[in-house]
Structure 1
Amino acid sequence: MAYMKIWGHRGAYSSAPENTLAGFQMAAQMGADGVELDIQLTKDKEVVVIHDETIDRTSNGQGRVKDFTLSEIKKLNFNKSGRTEPLFMEVPTLEEVLELLNRTGMTINIELKTGVIYYDGIESIALKLVEKYGMSDRIIWSSFNHYSVQKIKLLEPDSQTALLCGGGILVTGEQCEKVGAEALHPSVHMLRYPSLVEDCNKRGILIRPWTVTNDEEIKLAENIEVDSVIVNRIDWAKDVLAYGKSDEI
């Protein structure tokens, strides 16, 4: 059985504010094999790492990411809950995250958040940043937007890509093949559909489920022999894989 890799969801989601430099640093320290993050584009075409199209949920500000310049959005605090130090955290740029993780050897799954707002040019801008740091072979590009995945492949044919599915959106192994995606990133509950798993396996499409949160789910993923699991709790996932159980009640 191949080693199933552990990727931290939005950094170290359970231990630090999501999509922050502190969270990505913590994921590296915890020994994650990779991290998953989300990118959007500011008003002045800077790639920032944030999940939502608005800043309301994760910062002390309000509004859409695309309506802020980088200097404006950098003034806001993205440690809204104040549960970890430092108490003030900026939204990171993709370049800052690449610089931070460059020496770690970790895989970075960059999700292009172009399903609600299409950010013109985000694919080429992000590709150039990755190329600048010589990290192309460690990046997995993913999106719910099939066009964004196709554009990544058009601009850089050697890029590794994946289609996302979940929340009522079904994607098949055949659809992955059509856009040239090497992997499917399904919501974890979709692992319970044998036909989907079998179809991907038959076509050589890797499976990396999100977000794996309990012992039953991670053991299911391991039994199916998925490539990687995207988790909120990195230390818990490592314990389950190492010892076969956790301290869950």
Structure 2
Amino acid sequence: MTQIFAHRGSSGMYPENTMRAFKEAEKTGCEGIELDVQRTKDGVLVVIHDEFVNRTTNGRGAVASLTLKEIKELDASYNKKTWFSHNRIPTLDEVFQWLQGNQLICNVELKNNKVRYRGMEEEVLQKIAAFKLDDRIILSSFNHQSIILLHELDPTASIAPIYSKKGVNPLLLATTTHACAVHANYRVMTQAQMESCQRAKVPVRLYTINQEPLLEQWMNMGVSGVITDFPERAMVVRNNLLN
């Protein structure tokens, strides 16, 4: 059965990477959420996709140039040209604490490909251990050196390189990075590549699939996981296929 991951939470309907979006995703019955991690000026891991706060908040500036106090003063309620209200950028600790009260899988994407946050790999692994979430966290990144480092630091960690360029051999990528899975833009994945990975017991998870026909197509082909802005849609598609 294809697992469904809510991309930045239920971000098609609610402000991305906020506790509201994560809690709404849980209500859909999907298996997991996906989120992104950056680091503040004073060294706190916070959940936000962009290196700058401009797009998703009412503030401006680089995450790495703002303190946690400054980050927490921002309203992170922007969603598809619509403003909600009173949504804050959560820390990774806050999300992990919330995860202790449910059974969701969490795909943590380390956003260290544009800004090289030194020591981020070690810190995230330490937090996973501290919150006792070892069996429910998937770590991913576009920075494949970071994926290799994660494996060196913890060979038991569930890790997955992300890619979006055509011509990449996903099975070779998984092998060279010692990964447990691969995460690819659905536009660059072929059925043959996916089946090659799965014969080698390397799950393929595809992002970001929002249209029902595409969700149905990939689920019918047996993809291991889909990452979507609309988990509620994906759940309906999957339920229809199973019934």
> TM-score, normalising length from structure 2?
0.93
Alignment correspondent of 1:54: 52
Question: Within 5 A, what are the aligned runs for 1:150-169?
Answer: 150-167=148-165
CA offsets per residue over residues 183-214 of structure 1, 9 Å max, x none? 111111223x2442243223221100001111
- Show CA shifts across 1:124-156 (max 9, x none): 111111111100110000011111111111111
RMSD across aligned C-alpha pairs, in angstroms? 1.8
How many Å separate the matches in 2 of 1:169 and 1:55? 33
* Cα deviations by residue, 1:146-168 (Å, 9 ceiling, x for unpaired): 11111111111110000111155
> Does 1:119 find its partner at 2:100?
no
% identical aligned pairs: 32
What does residue 13 of structure 2 align with?
A: 15
Cα distance change on mapping 1:43 and 1:6 into 2, 3 Å: same
Question: Which stretches of structure 1, 4 residues or more, deviate above 4 A after TM superposition?
Answer: 81-85
When structure 1 is superposed on structure 2, of 199-208 and 166-175 the one drifting more is 166-175
Distance, in Å, in 1 between the alignment partners of 2:221 and 2:200 is 15
Cα distance in 1 for partners of 2:63, 2:223 equals: 34
1:183 alignment partner in structure 2? 181
After superposition, the Cα gap between the structure-2 partners of 1:33 and 1:23, relative to the gap in structure 1 and judged at 3 Å, is same
8 Å CA contact retained: 2:194, 2:223: no
For 2:168 and 2:112, locate their aligned partners in 1 and report how far apart those are by CA, in whole Å: 18
Which ranges of structure 2 fall in alignment gaps of 5 or more residues?
none
Structure 1 match to 2:198: 201
SS at match of 2:14: coil
Please list, as runs of the form range in 1=range in 2, the aligned pairs for 1:52-201 lying within 5 A after superposition: 52-80=50-78, 83=82, 87-167=85-165, 170-191=168-189, 193-201=190-198
Residue 174 (structure 2) pairs with residue 214 (structure 1): no
Aligned residue in 1 for 2:35: 37
5+ residue gaps, structure 1, are none
Looking at structure 2, the residues matched to 12 and 174 of structure 1 have their Cα atoms a distance apart, in angstroms, of: 32
Q: Does 1:236 align with 2:233?
A: yes
The count of residues paired between Structure 1 and Structure 2 equals 241
The one-letter amino acid of 1:11's match is G
